[in-house]
Amino acid sequence: MALKNQRGSFLRTHVFVFLLPAALIYTLFMIIPLIDTVRYSFYDETTEGLTAFVGWDNYILILTDERWWTDFSNALKNNFIFFVIHMFVQNPIGLLLAALLSLPRLKMANSYRTLIFMPTMLSVVIIGFIWKLILSPLWGVGDTLVGFVGMTDGLPALLGEESTALITLSFISVWQFVGIPMMLIYAALLNVPDDLVDAAIVDGANQWTAFWRIKLPLILPTIAMVSVLTFVANFNAFDLIYAVKGALAGPNFETDIMGTMFYRTFFGYQLQPGSATLGATVASLMFLVILCGVMLYLFVIQRRLQRYQL
Amino acid sequence: MKKSNLTLGTSVAAIALAAASLTPTVSAFADELVIESWRTDDLEIWESQIIPAFNKSHPDIKVRFAPSPPTEYNANMNAKLTAGTAGDLITCKPFDASLDLYNKGHLTKVDDLPGMENFSSVAKSAWQTDDGSTTFCLPMASVIHGFIYNKEAFKELGLEIPKTIPEFMAALEKIKEDGTYIPMSMGTADQWEAATMGFQNVGPNFWAGEKGRKGLIDGTEKLTDPQYVKVYEHLAEWGPYLGKGYKGQSYPDSQNLFSLGRAAIYPAGSWDISTFNGQADFEFGAFPPPVPAGQETCYISDHTDIGLGINAASKNVKAAETFLSWMASAEAGSIFSNALPGFYALSKHELTISDPVAQEFVSWRGKCESSIRNSYQILSRGTPNLENDLWNTSVGVINGSMTAEEAAKKAQDGLASWYKPQQ
């Protein structure tokens, strides 16, 4: 008995000691900067470089000034479109691929998995460059390809037209990141015990019904998690747009999302001087948008999810 | 953020100081001048041509060119100047970056320096206080805008060099009808091309160069005035003559289209000359931006790009002043401009450049009035930034998604929202 107690407290100290580095690093590099960013958004920089507390002024400026609000609401709208495309194209495709990969009789499943996951591991700069080349209306291979299906005029400048640029970029991003939902869902599918599926098949179900009636309900929590990850990643996105269109996110800000707007505000661009305080305000607003989305998920969706003990 | 900047700055300074005390640095030699610069590409030219030429007349002053990477130059200079470890001569970026250094007391006045009389007020404007009373860097080099054309294509199609805008548009139409060449190689994907090679290239002819530029600064002219709307209207006419898919065409694409001989005309900055010298295997020439019909005077964008100033903390101010005065001479200007075709010394001396196209560009200084890009001085200090707005609106009118009036209004509203004289 005494031995057991001793062992228990010994374990608890260990837990604490092991957690300490992570907690320390996380606090130092995540929590403190986050709080400081929010704090900084309540200050203003004068031309002499001094800072002064201004209360809600920065927020009022961004949310009510005509030009700031036009920029901000445009970025928010574009970001929402960017997210919706990922949510309803990337994730269903990821689910489909994962379901196909987990089919028991599929040959070369590992090769497919690696190939589909490959773009995710490439640098965004390379992805942006490759797709810019493919879609280039001057030398791109896209021109020849659409020629085969009878589009003799060649490919329009998909990345240059105001009407298509954002959607094209979203699809490039979907192509790049489809491996992530696929992997997560695939891992969840592997956790579904074979006997459950086998039993259903013995009872007369085919693979199709087995998927819809047995596997899908069991992996719903994973899909929900994938959705939240998509949401957070999309509203923090920046790199692809910056790599392909630059921080001015042209044409005419049609590809501007929160990340690029934050970059322009914080660091400045070309001759535009950056403003750390307004940048912090944009960053705080981004944080708020993401926080609202995640809260919505936590309180509305996650509580209703049924979990099964396997 | 400010706080962390400060600590970062001091720690950089501390490290720099520590390094300085450990190793005998350049400043230990009383008579060696160190030039700080971001032009790493020019190291060889300085060492083999410019410095030896200087030493011929001043053998007692040792000079060393010590460039640092361009992307870190501003931050690097700030840290070094604060820590007192910067070289004696500082290469100056135009406008606000250098003005900031002067305001912090890092650069000396150079108004009374012998040789400064060789520079026009336009040349000096990039390195002056807002009221123009004090100059703190010697203007060293500029880039000039114009059009580069494929001489063989022009000969083949029997085209003359267009002098006026109607002639220019007629030439474009003729090239388009013929169909062998893309009339003009420019894209709107990178945005700056439309503003820099388009708006700032042809614009000075409409707004009368310095008169218009100064008018915007003191508030007597507005971007919605007819002369600016006309620039947008002219740019809007370009759209149909740019290559297929120009909306997705980037700056390197534009250069390649021209140097591969597929386009007849290329709206250029003089820095493009060396690229084309290396890549194009046909003969090419240049013509200045065409003037509106009936206009006598022509205006060019002779944009100030590089200056040279003296570190206020330098121990060799006398030697540094001697070097600057020499840099203002005709000899130095000629060596510099010939070594770097497309970058021109800014002094009033007649420049003779062996590269024929570079010589053509600089010859316009004699025929036309010089000006600089109108968004660079003062007008791009606020948000929304005028330079960025000009990119956006120039692309808008060329792509046809904005009318000239809408574009002018957008740029003007943006400027007026923070710039007092325009309100």
Residues of A in contact with B96 (CB under 8 A): 271, 273
B254: closest CA of chain A, how far (Å): 10
In this prediction, residue A47 has a pLDDT band, given cuts at 50, 70 and 90, of low
Q: For residue range A221-258, what is the model confidence (pLDDT) as tens digits? A: 999 999 999 999 999 999 999 999 988 888 989 999 99
Question: Between residues B76 and B266, which one has the greater pLDDT?
Answer: B266
Q: Which residues of B touch A271 (CB under 8 A)?
A: 96, 375-376, 380, 385-388
Degrees, nearest 5: CA angle B58-B62-B66: 130
- Domain containing residue A265: 66-304
Q: What is the pLDDT of residue A6?
A: 52
Q: Note whether residue A93 is domain-resident.
A: yes
Would residue A82 count as lying in a domain?
A: yes
Over residues B140-170, the pLDDT tens digits come to 999 999 999 999 999 999 999 999 999 999 9
Is the per-residue pLDDT at A188 higher than 80?
Answer: yes
Percent of chain B exceeding pLDDT 70 equals 92
Highest mean pLDDT among A136-145, A190-199, B289-298: B289-298
Mean pLDDT in residue range A295-300: 90
Report CB contact under 8 Å: B387, A275: no
Instruction: Inform me whether the pLDDT recorded for A91 exceeds 70.
Output: yes
Contact A276 B2 (CB under 8 A): yes
**Nearest-neighbour CA in chain B from A81: distance (Å):** 21
List the single residue in A with minimal CA-CA distance to B253. Answer: A138
Is A46 part of the contact surface with chain B (CB cutoff 8 Å)? no
Report the C-alpha gap between A85 and B147 in whole angstroms: 43
Query: What Rg value do the Cα atoms of chain A yield, rounded?
Result: 24
Contact B309, B108 (CB under 8 A): yes
Q: Give residue B44's pLDDT band: very low, low, confident or very high (50, 70, 90).
A: confident
Question: Are the beta carbons of A191 and A63 closer than 8 angstroms?
Answer: no
Token pair, residue B196, equals 């820099």
Quote the pLDDT of residue B79: 83
Check residue A176 and give its pLDDT: 95
Q: CB distance A273–B381 less than 8 Å? A: yes
Residue B21: per-residue pLDDT: 41
Q: How close B80 comes to chain A (CA, Å)? A: 19
Share of chain B above pLDDT 90, in %: 69
Parallel, antiparallel or unpaired: strands B62-67 and B32-37: parallel
* Among the partner residues A159, A271, A273, nearest to B375 by beta-carbon distance: A271
Kind and range of the H or E run holding B66? strand B62-67
* pLDDT confidence of residue B1: 38
Note whether residue A38 is domain-resident: no
pLDDT tens profile B222-239: 999 999 999 999 999 999
pLDDT at B26 over 80: no
* Range with the poorest average pLDDT among A146-150, B1-5, B207-211: B1-5
In a domain, A36, yes or no: no
Contact list, B380 vs chain A (CB under 8 Å): 271-272
Residue B30 binned pLDDT confidence (cut-offs 50, 70, 90): low
Cβ of residue A224 closer than 8 Å to a chain B Cβ: no
Q: Quick check: A39 pLDDT over 80?
A: yes
Chain A residues near residue B377 by CB distance under 8 angstroms: none
Binned at pLDDT 50, 70 and 90, residue A310 comes out as low
**Is residue A217 a part of any domain in this protein?**
yes
The Cα–Cα gap between B207 and A135 comes to: 38
pLDDT interval class at B382 (50, 70, 90): confident
pTM, entire model: 0.83
CATH code: domain of residue A266: 1.10.3720.10
Name the burial class of residue B226, with classes exposed (0-12), middle (13-18) and buried (19+) by CB atoms within 10 angstroms of its CB: exposed
Nearest to B188 by CA among B111, B242, B132: B242
A309 domain-assigned: no
Nearest-CA distance B117 → chain A (Å) = 29
- The phi and psi torsions of B368 (rounded to 5 degrees) equal -120, 165
**pLDDT of A90:** 96
User: Residue B265: enclosing H or E segment and its boundaries?
Assistant: strand B263-269
Determine, yes or no, domain membership for A30. no
**Contact call for residues A308 and A217 (beta carbons, < 8 A):** yes
Q: Which two tokens stand for residue A164?
A: 């298509």
What does the pLDDT read at residue B96? 86
In A, minimum Cα distance to B397 occurs at A252
In this model, does residue B5 exceed pLDDT 70? Answer: no
The pLDDT of residue B374 is above 60 = yes
Q: Among A141, A271, A281, A284, which would you mutate to test the B interface (most chain B Cβ atoms within 10 Å of its Cβ)?
A: A271
Q: Check CB contact under 8 Å for B189 and A253.
A: no
Find, in chain B, the residue whose alpha carbon is nearest to that of A277: B1
Chain A residues touching B190 at Cβ < 8 A = 246
Tokens of B102: 């002067």
Chain A within 8 Å of B388 (Cβ-Cβ)?
A: yes
CA dihedral B65, B66, B72, B78 (to 10 degrees): -90
Q: How open is the CA angle B84-B24-B26, to the nearest 5 degrees? A: 60
Q: Which residue has the higher pLDDT, B242 or A153?
A: B242
Give the CA count within 13 Å in the CB-facing half-sphere of B320.
Answer: 28
Domains defined along chain B, listed by start: 2-141+304-366 (3.40.190.10), 144-301+374-422 (3.40.190.10)
- Domain count for chain A, please give it: 1
Q: What average pLDDT does range B125-143 have in this prediction? A: 92
Please tell me the distance from the alpha carbon of residue B124 to that of residue B327, in angstroms, as a whole number. 14
Which chain B residue's Cα is nearest to A269? Answer: B388
Q: Determine the Cα–Cα distance for residues A254 and B172; give it in Å rounded to an integer.
A: 30
> What CA–CA distance (Å, rounded) separates B111 from B129?
12
Which among A136, A139, A250 is the nearest to B191, CB-wise?
A: A250
Is residue A4 domain-resident? no
- B416 contacts chain A (CB < 8 A): no
pLDDT at B19: 43
Provide the number of CB pairs (under 8 Å) joining chain A to chain B: 112
Q: How many angstroms separate the CA of residue A105 from the nearest CA in chain B?
A: 45
Q: Is A276 on the interface with B (CB under 8 A)?
A: yes
Contact A160 B249 (CB under 8 A): yes
Whole-angstrom Cα distance, residue A70 to residue A67?
A: 5
Strand intervals (E) in B319-415: 344-345, 369-371
User: What pLDDT is recorded for position B176?
Assistant: 96
- Model pLDDT for residues B76-104, shown as the tens digit of each residue: 888 888 888 999 999 998 988 889 889 88
The pLDDT of residue B15: 46
Q: Which of B188, B191, B383 sits opposite A272 (nearest CB)?
A: B383
